[in-house]
Amino acid sequence: MTAELCDLSAEDTARRVRAGEIAATSVLDSVLRRIEAIEGRAPSAEGYVPQPDDRLTIHAFITRTIERARRQAETVDAQVHRGENPGPLAGVPLAVKDIFCVRDTLSTAGSRILANFRAPYSATPVARLEQAGAVTVGKVNLDEFAFGSSSESSAFLPPPGNPWDPARVPGGSSGGSAAAVAAGEATLSLGTDTAGSVRQPAAFCGVVGLKPTYGRVSRYGLIAFASSLDCPALVARGVRDAALALGVIAGADAHDATAAAVPVPDYLATLEAGVRGLRIGLSPDYFRLRYPDPATGEMRERSIEPEIVEAVRRAAQRLAQAGAEIVEGVAMPNTRFGIPAYFVVSRVEAASNLHRYDGVKYGLRAEEPVTELAQLYRKSRGRGFGVQPKLRILMGMYVSAEQYEKDYYRQALRVRSLLRRDFTEAFDPAGPYRLDALLTPTTPTTAFEIGAVYGDSVLMQYADLLTVPANHAGTPGLSLPAGFDGAGLPIGLQVLGADFAEAMILRIGRAWESLTQEEPWRKARPRILAEAGA
């Protein structure tokens, strides 16, 4: 398959649309052709029967909003025709993770309980992207309520496939976002990152994933999972596009009291400044994995995959050659507690947020006759929720119960403070490390096969081991493509920064991109595109 309009960067697309060189409607047509070629059957919440062919295609979109997109694209073209500026994202195809409300679209959160919910308003980051000229192509698949790391727990199946090998997961929970952007089914995607849900799929799919600082982007219109950790986040094919889109969605919002009143810098202005003189840290605590053995429950420790270690080391070396100072041995001693603390904090918040689904105000109501209200609740929630929400509700209630909360919930909140302290000390300008950023792997492994991990909720959660600390700390993180493993699967490199230091991590990411631009692995394209174009 040859490169088409849908393969352009967001920056180039918008520039050429604004200049009248290409029409937004032509870009949309190109994206729709790509979707037609590689998407396969649409995921559905009605009785999934797996077919062998399902493992050959992407299945990213729960809902395609084609007519709405066509109207948006025509509006952009009309603005250009009248000599008006449609905005910095003019005509850029956007895929929205189906956990954001988008006015007049089904907004399902990947759950049967919201399968028929039509959003009466748009989430703030969606509204800002559309206001900037982006064209929303559709709503993409995810783990149910973002509960997972593979997108397999969605009620809408088949699950999305990884464009580099569709028999493997694209990661999660923003798996549809990463798959769609990697395969040219969208140029940008708005996802969310609560434990790594944008960075991990970006790593698995060989694209850029940016989780901003907690509070940098409004959560208004985002269907809540864990309110103290949830962060709207971006998937793009390049760092410049991520920077461009962040500038559009960031900033205070009267609808969200946690959207920080911190000025939004011009993220593109400092992007090409290079890394000379920057202090970039490596921490041994990000190169080992401590996890409970599924059979015995015993804690085991092992290194992360050697090819991933090698890729991060190589990246550090390249950045050093470009003038960065690499600081080895940065102590991040609480990293290993990130998942256990997350098992508690996120569950308590999820349980609280999921109480609103009751079969009364909106969403699924069980159809069988009932005699009293509690029975309606039990039947509606029993039918409407999949396994993952049920697990989260039950665990959340257990660890916050009066007799256990001191050992679990309160302890986890204290451990979160310890994780936060690791970051504060690493970035402290008067501290021992004085880092501008920390360089780590994004994930302990590359993309695994569909079905290989799903069902083991502990092992699945450990996929977020290296991303979740930044969610506890609230700090920003960026995942960048860093080559491939022996099986041809993408490896992700993570750049972690201080509070509101998105400009810094984007600048380092852009430097990495420029330094490696001519390397052969940069020319590789997802296998699904090669096969579809054969």
Partner 1 sequence: MSPTEEITPAIFAHLIRLAELELEPQEAEYLRGQLNAQLTAIHDMASIDVDPKTPITSHGVPYPEGARPALREDAAQPSSEAEAILAQAPETEERYLVVPDIPHTDLG
Quick check: 360 binds partner 1 (CB under 8 A)?
Answer: yes
**Of residues 164-223, those binding partner 1 (CB under 8 A):** 213-215
Distance CA 526, CA 206 (A): 9
Q: At its nearest, how many Å lie between partner 1 and the CB of residue 455?
A: 8
**Of residues 428-487, those binding partner 1 (CB under 8 A):** 456-458, 461, 471-475
Distance CA 496, CA 494 (A): 6
Q: At its nearest, how many Å lie between partner 1 and the CB of residue 142?
A: 20
Nearer to partner 1, 214 or 512 (CB): 214
Phi, psi angle pair for 148, to nearest 5° = 160, 175
Quick check: 288 binds partner 1 (CB under 8 A)?
Answer: no
Figure out which of the listed residues 3, 78, 257, 269 binds partner 1, where binding follows CB under 8 A: 257
Here the tokens at position 215 are 């509070």
Looking at residue 48, its amino acid is: Y
Distance CA 160, CA 450 (A): 9
Q: Which stretch binds partner 1 (CB under 8 A): 15-23, 25-33, 388-396, 483-491?
A: 388-396
Distance CA 295, CA 325 (A): 43
Nearer to partner 1, 2 or 403 (CB): 403
- Residue of 68, 72, 91, 111 whose CA lies nearest to 21: 91
Figure out which of the listed residues 365, 434, 525, 527 binds partner 1, where binding follows CB under 8 A: 365
Quick check: 48 binds partner 1 (CB under 8 A)?
Answer: no
Phi, psi angle pair for 250, to nearest 5° = -75, 155
Quick check: 395 binds partner 1 (CB under 8 A)?
Answer: yes
Figure out which of the listed residues 51, 85, 131, 258 binds partner 1, where binding follows CB under 8 A: 258
Which residues have C-beta within 8 Å of that of residue 198, sequence separation ≥ 6? 174, 177, 178, 191, 192, 209, 210, 211, 233, 234, 235, 479
**Of residues 329-348, those binding partner 1 (CB under 8 A):** 336-337, 339-341, 343-344
Q: Which stretch binds partner 1 (CB under 8 A): 55-63, 397-405, 439-447, 514-522?
A: 397-405
Q: How many residues bind partner 1 (CB under 8 A)?
A: 87
What positions carry a catalytic annotation? 97, 173, 197
Phi, psi angle pair for 165, to nearest 5° = -170, 95
**Helix axis angle, 10-18 to 66-81, nearest 10°:** 50
**Of residues 59-78, those binding partner 1 (CB under 8 A):** none
Quick check: 254 binds partner 1 (CB under 8 A)?
Answer: yes
- Residue of 194, 438, 448 whose CA lies nearest to 339: 194
Figure out which of the listed residues 182, 259, 439, 447 binds partner 1, where binding follows CB under 8 A: 259
Q: Is 41 within 8 Å of 54 (Cβ atoms)?
A: yes
Looking at residue 384, its amino acid is: G
Q: Which stretch binds partner 1 (CB under 8 A): 139-147, 368-376, 426-434, 478-486?
A: 368-376
Figure out which of the listed residues 385, 433, 448, 512 binds partner 1, where binding follows CB under 8 A: 385
Distance CA 385, CA 100 (A): 18
Q: At its nearest, how many Å lie between partner 1 and the CB of residue 401?
A: 9
**Cβ contacts of 305-309, under 8 Å, gap ≥ 24:** 305/444, 305/445, 305/446, 305/485, 307/446, 307/485, 307/486, 307/491, 308/441, 308/443, 308/444, 308/445, 308/446, 308/485, 308/491, 309/441
Distance CA 303, CA 176 (A): 29
Here the tokens at position 280 are 């970039």
Q: At its nearest, how many Å lie between partner 1 and the CB of residue 213?
A: 6
Reported as type and span, the H/E element at residue 412 is helix 409-427
Quick check: 18 binds partner 1 (CB under 8 A)?
Answer: no
Looking at residue 460, its amino acid is: M
Quick check: 297 binds partner 1 (CB under 8 A)?
Answer: yes
Q: At its nearest, how many Å lie between partner 1 and the CB of residue 387?
A: 7
Reported as type and span, the H/E element at residue 191 is strand 188-192
Here the tokens at position 307 are 């090819």
Q: At its nearest, how many Å lie between partner 1 and the CB of residue 148?
A: 13
Q: Which stretch binds partner 1 (CB under 8 A): 5-13, 69-77, 192-200, 378-386?
A: 378-386
Nearer to partner 1, 180 or 468 (CB): 468
**Helix axis angle, 239-249 to 10-18, nearest 10°:** 70
Figure out which of the listed residues 146, 312, 327, 393 binds partner 1, where binding follows CB under 8 A: 393
Here the tokens at position 312 are 């991060």
Q: At its nearest, how many Å lie between partner 1 and the CB of residue 389?
A: 9
**Of residues 401-420, those binding partner 1 (CB under 8 A):** 407-408, 410-420
Nearer to partner 1, 279 or 421 (CB): 421
Q: Which stretch binds partner 1 (CB under 8 A): 143-151, 178-186, 351-359, 430-438?
A: 351-359
Q: At its nearest, how many Å lie between partner 1 and the CB of residue 153?
A: 12
Q: Which stretch binds partner 1 (CB under 8 A): 69-77, 274-282, 307-315, 353-361?
A: 353-361
Q: Which stretch binds partner 1 (CB under 8 A): 88-96, 117-125, 319-327, 428-436?
A: 117-125
Residue carrying structure tokens 């360089």: 439
